[in-house]
Copies of this chain bind each other. A is one copy, B any other.
Amino acid sequence: MTNAADEFHFTLSATDGAARTGLVHTPRGQIRTPAFMPVGTAGTVKAMYASQVRETGADIVLGNVYHLMLRPGAERVARLGGLHRFMNWPHPILTDSGGFQVMSLAKLRKLDEKGVTFQSHVDGSRHVLTPERSVEIQGLLGSDIQMQFDECVKLPCSDEEAERAMELSLRWAQRSKEAFGEQPGKALFGIVQGGANPDLRVRSARALVDMDFKGYSIGGLAVGEPQDVMLAMIETVEPHLPKTKPRYLMGVGTPDDIVESVRRGIDMFDCVMPTRAGRHGLAYTRFGKVNLRNARHADDPRPLDPDSSCPAARDYSRAYLHHLVKAGEILGMMLLTWVNLAYYQDLMAGLRAAIAEGRLAGHIAETKELWTKGDLPPL
């Protein structure tokens, strides 16, 4: 028994060219799109309290099936009441299928039609991931937006290899969908594959749309190819995706990747970049990237950005941040992760407002001009 309000659905509120702004509705809350989803790999957005992640403006976070199935284990998370309760994040959660990371992190992996057999990078234990098991794990975690199991090839790769993996991913899409069944309030997304080959990408998108998913991901991009290849693939795929469903570009990306993808009709993003960079002394601000390791900051009393929405960017001197980073202090990682996630959310809020007001092109031009101008000159 569910009514329409409990159903997972997407409402479009405005468009500007190919760009869109709207809301993904889930029983756990709405996701304002275009949305950036901070990555909470192992049940934590690293170096952040969950409440802080929320306060930056995040409507949803991502969890990784590969990491969580190995530690603490999906059945354990389920017994403990699901991932939302486990990590004190009552808002929507999206999970990947584990397919990408099993190929990049696991040892001794073996892939066949059935799925992937691999050894844990944590303790060497043997595991099997199939479309059915991936969907089962995502259900045990309680994920609101789940991904089909897929095979993601590294770029560049041959057309034959891209086609084989794309076709396998389509068969796995069908099996994932059958395993998922009907789950009111939750969604399973299909994942468009096909490497850097436009024909393969179109075939993949059409076949997935025929299966009728609640949303569509574009996978296998931002895996080493130049940005123009990635953007060309988005432009190729986008016309084949229904306007009424959200589109998620997996694992992307830099602020520039994001604005260019939003311009081309993408609604959802995730990337470790803001969190990982924050742990390595790199800040993202309106002025572009700022490397706090640089000695130029050692005596600089100015904050990173006095007009930021984020206390970490306003209330601490660059000199202090530099000191913390150089000394390897945990607080440095905490503050810069916070700065970066706040900047990414501010970036998305700016894009949403610009689309709603039909001024996206100008807004992107202004945003890029500030990046190009670069950080404040030294004192």
Contact = CB atoms under 8 A, between A and B. Distances in A.
A72 B319 contact: yes
A327 B42 contact: yes
A333 B76 CA distance: 22
Given A316-B88, A320-B86, A80 B301 contact: yes
Interface of A: 42-44, 46-49, 71-72, 76, 79-81, 86-88, 279, 298-299, 301, 315-317, 319-320, 322-324, 326-327, 329-331, 333-334
A47 B331 contact: yes
A81 B302 CA distance: 12
5 contacts: A49-B334, A71-B327, A76-B298, A80-B317, A81-B301
A178 B10 CA distance: 74
Contacts of A326: 71-72
Contact of A42 (B79, B86, B329, B334): B329
Nearest to A47: B330
A331 B44 contact: yes
Given A43-B323, A44-B329, A88-B315, 16 more contacts: A42-B327, A43-B324, A44-B330, A44-B331, A47-B331, A47-B334, A48-B331, A49-B331, A71-B327, A72-B319, A72-B322, A76-B319, A88-B316, A88-B320, A330-B333, A334-B334
